[in-house]
A and B are shown apart, each in its own frame.
Chain A
Amino acid sequence: MSKLVLSGLTKRYGSHAAVDTLDLTVESGHLVSLLGPSGCGKTTTLRLVSGFAVPDGGSISVAGQVVSSARGVVPPEKREMSMIFQSYALWPHLTVAENVAYGLKLRKLPRADIERRVQAMLDTMQLRRFEARYPAELSGGQQQRVGLARALVVEPKILLLDEPLSNLDASLREEMRHEIRRLHDRFHYTTIYVTHDQAEAMTTSDLIAVMRDGKIEQAGAPDDIYERPETEFVARFIGSTNILRGRRVGEHEADCDGLRLVCESGHWPEDGSAVVSIRPHRITLSGAADGSAPGTVERAIYLGAQRHYIVALDAGPKLQVLASSDVLAHEGERVGLTLPPAHCRALIR
């Protein structure tokens, strides 16, 4: 287990900086996810960390020792890292057991030792009965577990996961998220987890780094990122939200098209404008007489546990509201919304 530090890391392709002076510290034994849309530089970052790519600037150090800089990199095979690939990258010409044993054989361990560790890992992954099969004969979830087994069995210093669940169907994905966290809790490898799925990141990570345009937009614990986004990009990327734009009119107050909002937290842009985020489920919907903001229900969608409303405020903005399924309103009905200051957050951009 080793602390991983990326500092000022830069990678350019032509004039485009895929990774731009990126700083990130992964504490020993922590699982950090790099979260962002495609093209944000998260996969490039992972390739830099794994040693497949050479940085143009900055450095990567593992346990205090530099493994990558513009002057050179320690090649991937010498880094004692493991990686889980989007495609699983299982070798189709090797059986499950052979796939798992591959890294151990390279380490020239005694045969019996390899056998023992492979069996133990296959047990952990519940793959024992598939050991003689070829990857093509396994389901997607099983293949994923072989990939994990292969990566973990070598007891890497650092574990890298590149969108490991994106090829699985939804229910399996859900299950594997928990599996990955469970394994992390058990083995405590220093881990970087690349994903574009915020739910995946929230389930698995100690720390989430939201990336945009080769930079880290915001890093923090999952609840931190969710409850206290700093920018519109982060607020929108982590779960759905309502964004309201206007002017700052007081210490904690914004005016968005006539709608007055008090924000108890957040930071304001310096130019006097205001960007306010409020999550749909934080808005209270009540009768037309109640609430601070009157409006009309434009759409009402029943989701089972909840009801989803789109409300056009008289002041202008349209807001999404998630309410308990007990709170019933019809399309066209006049309602009043309450926007609690505790949940209105000012964003810097």
Chain B
Amino acid sequence: MSLALNTTRRLRLGHVDLSLIPLGLAGLFLAMLVLLPLGWLLAYTVTDESGALSWTNVVELADTSLFLEPFITTFGIALGVASLACLLAVPLAWLVARTDVPARRLLRGLVMVSFITPPFIGAVAWVLLAAPNSGLLNQYYRGITGAGTFDYLFNIFSAAGIIFVMASYAFPYVFVLAANTLDRMPHDLEEASAILGGGRWHTFRRVTLPMVLPALLAGFIIAFLQAMTQFGTPAILALPAGFHVLTTKIWSLFQFPPKAHLAAACAMPLLLVTIFLLRLEKTLLGRRGYTMVGGKSGSPQLAKLGVWRWPALLLALLLLFVTVLLPNLVLVRASMLRSVSDPWTLETITWANVPLVFGLSNTVGVLKNTLVTGVVSATLGTAFAVLIAYLTARRAVPGHQVLGFLATAPAAIPGIVLGVALFIAYTRPPFQLYGTLWILLLAFLTIEMPPAYQQMQAAFRGLNPELEDASRILGAGRMKSLAKVVAPLLKTSVAATWCFVFIGAIRELSATILLTTSNTKLVSVLIYDLNEGGALGGIAVLGLVLMAVTAVVVLIANRVAHVGVMPDGR
């Protein structure tokens, strides 16, 4: 029973706290994850092919068709997307959070469903729906109005079309932020204003709006960033229309002969704008970003819509039908047709697309790659997020602030920029990872670290540190306490983070497109390949399979997390 404390050796050991070593290594790895590629990116920007210091890359940015035009186009589209996304998301969030509109849970659920659909699949679906001539909606339009053969209502191959498609996949993010804020906003403030005689409009303008405004602006910025950094949608919709955005331009620089130095230079402004906007968002939002919609506490005072309850519901359902369900329905339809513009009759229905997709000998391999990288990056990513969030939330190591910064820093790196950076960093010794799934894993870990870390940090902040102290004082080491007390208590947060990273990895295309080889191809890239080959029916099949698999994995993850966890009241 002796404590054996009398030797200084023992004291020193105690001071180092052996359990900190794996934690320290995690920190080191994180630093490498972020700093190595960014270092190379910077190095490539200011050097030429021979490796000599040179400004030619930067100077070449002055070429309008190379940089300025796509940059301006990108900016315009991003502004449009952000505005439209806010316009769609905020009223919907208000309806769901602050009114007595029926079926609020269903509405929330439907918004969440749209997270499962990768935007590039959505873009293809919208080609099927709203291509000017073969698009179903335009066909119906002509059928109903009797308009001429070449008349159309929608043209998805246009800046407006791109804005619409991007907005319908960005608005869930804005929705989550806005609904979160509205959920948490103390209701008594509004009530106080009402009691003091403020009319409904006055209350809205003077109390509700100022409180929601920061979240609104932050949502605007998030949608803007998404639109600015996305690759899949513009590649599928803008290139056919004959113009580039910045991401497609950077990607085109990787066509033969690849101009990695120029691509690095092109990526820099994207990086800088992103950093600036994220700083702005942080200022506006404090530290609330990214956290998902949580449960509501108390029963809020809901605005009574009266006779408008049902029309409001209908409108909301219509919005969600158009942005969430319709694209998926059209994929189902297209998956069973040989030519996507055929009418859907017993004669035209075919299974030909299934063997076409799975006849591609590597399709099964590609699905396997996708699942493996998805599951592994979700697992590792969540583990890292837990560790880093733990270190920072508990201030467990000196320099934990640096760790926190490193974990959030990748948020400022757009996927395509990271793709360029990783490509440069890992196609050379000592880390020759190009052509392996490792490089994709690194990409996903880097890209998903910020949201995963922020979610876990929020979870840790909600967990009283005394729960862990209680375990340690009773004799469990730091690691054991993490495993026996912290982990079970954070199970649901961990599962949510896991799903978030998994879905993120499945959805990723902009970095992936630069990093896969034939052996390490992922579904997202295969879909992109199929799109370039015009095999829309095949994309529909593959897209549906991908979404189904994603949904199943997410369901399993949630099931696992909920087995045996805590009784009611927690």
The answer to whether A and B touch directly, with their CB atoms under 8 angstroms apart, is yes
**A→B interface (CB under 8 Å):** 50, 52, 54, 62-63, 65-67, 69, 71-83, 85-87, 89-93, 102-103, 106-107, 134, 136-137, 150-151, 154, 157, 160
Interface residues of B in 453-469 (CB under 8 A from A): 464, 466-467, 469
Contact A89 B12 (CB under 8 A): no
C-alpha spacing A91/B463, complex, angstroms: 11
Kindly state the separation between the CA atoms of A339 and B24 in the bound complex, as whole angstroms: 66
Q: Would you call B3 and A79 a contact (CB within 8 A)?
A: yes
A72 B12 Cβ-Cβ under 8 A: yes
CB within 8 Å of A: which residues of B?
A: 1, 3, 5-6, 8, 10-15, 17, 464, 466-467, 469-478, 480-481, 484-485, 488-489, 565-570
List of 9 A-B pairs having minimum Cβ-Cβ separation, nearest first? A72-B15, A72-B11, A103-B474, A89-B466, A89-B470, A65-B5, A136-B569, A85-B466, A106-B475
Beyond A89-B470, A137-B569, 9 additional pairs, beta carbon < 8 A? A72-B13, A73-B14, A74-B10, A74-B11, A75-B17, A82-B474, A93-B489, A134-B567, A136-B566
Chain B's nearest CB lies how many Å from the CB of A160?
A: 8
Q: Whole-angstrom distance between the alpha carbons of A67 and B477 in the complex?
A: 16
The answer to whether B469 touches A80 (Cβ under 8 A) is no
| Given A87-B466, A136-B570, CB of A78 within 8 Å of CB of B473 | no
| Residues on A with beta carbons closer than 8 Å to the beta carbon of B568 | 136
Question: Which residues of the partner chain A approach B480 to less than 8 Å between Cβ atoms?
Answer: 77, 106
User: Which of A72, A102, A150 has its CB near the most chain B CB atoms (within 10 A)?
Assistant: A72
Contact B489 A69 (CB under 8 A): no
Are B473 and A81 in contact, with the CB atoms below 8 A? yes
Tell which of A77, A79, A83, A89 touches B476, judged by Cβ atoms closer than 8 Å. A77
Minimum CB–CB distance from B4 to chain A (whole Å) comes to 8
In the complex, what residues of A have CB within 8 A of residue B467's CB? Answer: 87, 89, 91
Q: What's the least CB distance linking A304 to chain B, in Å?
A: 38
Q: Which residues of chain B come closer than 8 Å to A71, judged between CB atoms?
A: 8, 11-12, 15
Could you tell me if A75 and B11 are in contact, using CB atoms closer than 8 angstroms? no
Asked whether A92 lies within 8 Å of B570 as measured between CB atoms, the reply is yes
Question: A76 to B14, Cβ gap below 8 A?
Answer: no
Query: Contact: A62 with B3, CB < 8 Å?
Result: yes
Residue of A nearest to B569 (CB): A136
Complex contact B489–A92 (CB within 8 A) = yes
**What chain A residues lie within 8 Å of B481 (beta carbons)?**
77
- In the assembled complex, the CB of A314 is this many whole angstroms from the nearest CB of chain B, namely 50
* A91 to B476 alpha-carbon distance, docked (Å): 14
| Alpha-carbon distance between A136 and B568 when the two chains are bound, in angstroms | 8
A72 x B475 contact (CB < 8 A)? no
What are 19 pairs between A and B in contact, CB < 8 Å?
A50-B473, A52-B469, A71-B8, A72-B12, A72-B15, A74-B10, A77-B472, A78-B475, A81-B473, A91-B467, A91-B485, A92-B489, A92-B570, A102-B474, A134-B567, A136-B567, A136-B568, A150-B474, A154-B474
Partner of A77, one of B5, B477, B565, B570: B477
Q: A93 — which chain B residues lie within 8 A by C-beta?
A: 488-489, 565-566
B565 CB contacts on chain A under 8 angstroms: 93
Query: Quick one: closest B residue to A54, CB to CB?
Result: B15
Given A71-B12, A106-B476, A154-B475, A85–B470 Cβ distance below 8 Å? yes
CA distance A252 to B469 in the complex (A): 52
Which residue in B3, B14, B470, B478 is a CB contact (below 8 Å) of A63?
B3
**Contact, CB under 8 Å: B3 / A78:** yes
A54 to B10, CA, bound (A): 15
Chain B nearest CB from A68 CB (Å) reads: 9
A82, B567: Cβ atoms closer than 8 Å:
no
CB distance from A78 to the nearest CB of B (A): 7
Chain A nearest CB from B19 CB (Å) reads 9
Query: Measured between alpha carbons, how far is A291 from B555 in the docked complex, in Å?
Result: 84
B566 adjacent to A92 (CB under 8 Å): yes
Query: Nearest A residue to B12 by beta-carbon distance?
Result: A72
Find out whether the CB atom of A69 lies under 8 angstroms from the CB atom of B11. yes
Give B477's nearest chain A residue, CB to CB.
A77
Q: How far is the CB of A69 from chain B (nearest CB, A)?
A: 7
Complex interface: chain A residues within 8 A of B8 (CB): 71-72
Which residues does chain B contribute within 8 Å of A73, judged by CB atoms?
Answer: 11, 14-15
**Interchain CA distance A63-B2 in the complex, whole Å:** 10
Q: Are B11 and A103 in contact (CB under 8 A)?
A: no
Question: Given A77-B472, A77-B477, are A91 and B3 neighbors across the interface (CB < 8 Å)?
Answer: no
Least distance between A134 CB and chain B CB atoms (Å): 5
CB distance from B564 to the nearest CB of A (A): 9
A105 to chain B, nearest CB (A): 9
Asked whether, in the complex, the Cβ of B5 is within 8 Å of the Cβ of A62, the reply is yes
Complex CA distance for A330 and B356, rounded to whole angstroms: 103
**Across the two chains, which residue of chain B brings its CB closest to A102?**
B474
Residues from chain B with Cβ under 8 Å of A67 in the complex: 3, 5
- The reply to whether A87 and B464 contact each other, CB–CB distance below 8 Å, is yes
Q: How far is the CA of A57 from the CA of B521 in the complex (A)?
A: 59
What chain A residues lie within 8 Å of B569 (beta carbons)? 134, 136-137
The answer to whether A83 touches B470 (Cβ under 8 A) is: yes
Complex Cα spacing A137 to B570, Å: 10
Q: Are A65's CB and B3's CB within 8 A?
A: yes
Bound-complex Cα distance A136 to B489 (A)? 13
Are A107 and B475 closer than 8 Å at their CB atoms? yes
Contacts of B473 in A (CB 8 A): 50, 76-77, 79, 81-83, 160
Assess the A75–B470 pair: CB atoms within 8 A: no
Contacts of A106 in B (CB 8 A): 474-476, 480
Nearest neighbor of A153 in chain B, beta-carbon distance: B474
Q: Which of A86, A91, A157 has the most CB of B within 10 A?
A: A91
**C-alpha gap A85/B3 in the complex (Å):** 23
B464 touching A89 by the CB < 8 A rule? yes
User: Given contacts A92-B489, A92-B566, is CB(A74)–CB(B474) below 8 Å?
Assistant: no
Question: In the complex the two chains form, is B469's CB within 8 Å of A83's CB?
Answer: yes
Q: B15 touching A80 by the CB < 8 A rule?
A: no
Chain A: minimal CB distance from B446 (Å): 33
Measured between alpha carbons, how far is A103 from B470 in the docked complex, in Å?
10
Q: How far, in Å, is A147 (CB) from chain B's closest CB?
A: 8
